[in-house]
Structure 1
Amino acid sequence: MSTAYTIVTLVTAFFTGSAAVFYLIGHEYPKAQADMKRIPRRFVPVLGSLLAAGTIGLLAGFAVPLLGTLAAAGLFLYFTGALVAHLRVGSRNLVGWAIFYVTVITDLAINVLHHH
């Protein structure tokens, strides 16, 4: 198994898993982000669950490579949606989003190159 694949996947899983925890425990930051993007707060746990599922899928990809690739693709779509949500309300504070997006895109690319 490639060292780069392992490191990128673990870093991505750490980022998305940490975000999932914050969303699922009811931390104020995700609620404030939902308010800013005019997303109903009832969707915050749903978004956290999607992040958690993506994280689990990335880690499962070590055993079943297709799951890792599909999880990375799902997270790519998730963060593409997050960009749309930011732009829809005129938010230009995209540094946090960009860190997640670049990490997820890198993971998707390395998954495809490593497994396919």
Structure 2
Amino acid sequence: MEISMFIAYAVVGLLLALVLTASATFTLQRNDQIIASMRRVQVPDSWLPRLATLKAAGAIGLVAGLWVTPLGVAAATGVTLYFIGAVIAHLRVKDYELAPAAVLTLVAAAALALRILS
């Protein structure tokens, strides 16, 4: 069972890392949709490079976590907390277009559970 959990983590972790990499890239490129979403939840423009860096670090950690279990657990924990924060930011301003953040929270939590179990 442990090997199947690892394979599941590898799939979920790598897909999540791809999404995080794309999101970090779009944030750094100041993609119109990303900027509009960040403004809706009142994220200052000065935070964008830091948030993109956190997403990129999460992606790197998830991939490195394939070889170093504690790093994968730490990265999945950080990504889960990041997206919990995103959901809270949406709710705080009563912006209910939070499906992407909510889904990514669940995917990150799944990656965390799978890495712990593998």
**Greater Cα shift, 3-12 or 43-52:** 3-12
Among 88, 95, 107, which residue is 1:91 paired with?
A: 95
User: Residue 100 of structure 1 aligns to which amino acid in structure 2?
Assistant: L
Query: Which position in structure 2 is the counterpart of 1:113?
Result: 117
**Contact 1:69/1:112, CA 8 A, preserved across alignment:** yes
Among 27, 44, 50, which residue is 1:46 paired with?
A: 50
**Contact 1:15/1:100, CA 8 A, preserved across alignment:** no
TM-score when scaled to structure 1? 0.92
**Contact 1:30/1:44, CA 8 A, preserved across alignment:** no
For 2:90 and 2:38, the matched residues in 1 are separated by 10
For 1:25 and 1:65, the matched residues in 2 are separated by 32
**Contact 2:76/2:108, CA 8 A, preserved across alignment:** yes
Runs of 4+ residues deviating >4 angstroms: none
For 1:40 and 1:94, the matched residues in 2 are separated by 18
**Contact 1:21/1:48, CA 8 A, preserved across alignment:** yes
For 2:47 and 2:33, the matched residues in 1 are separated by 14
Q: CA RMSD in A?
A: 1.2
The structural deviation recorded for 1:86 is 0.3
For 1:30 and 1:46, the matched residues in 2 are separated by 14
**Contact 2:62/2:71, CA 8 A, preserved across alignment:** yes
**Contact 1:5/1:111, CA 8 A, preserved across alignment:** yes
Query: Which position in structure 1 is the counterpart of 2:10?
Result: 6
Query: Which position in structure 1 is the counterpart of 2:26?
Result: 22
User: Residue 87 of structure 1 aligns to which amino acid in structure 2?
Assistant: L
* Identity among equivalent pairs (%): 37
CA-to-aligned-CA distance 1:7-60 (integer Å, 9 cap, x gap): 111111111111111112221222111110111111111111100000000011
For 1:80 and 1:5, the matched residues in 2 are separated by 20
Q: How many pairs are equivalent?
A: 114
The structural deviation recorded for 1:113 is 0.7
TM-score when scaled to structure 2? 0.90
Query: Which position in structure 1 is the counterpart of 2:77?
Result: 73
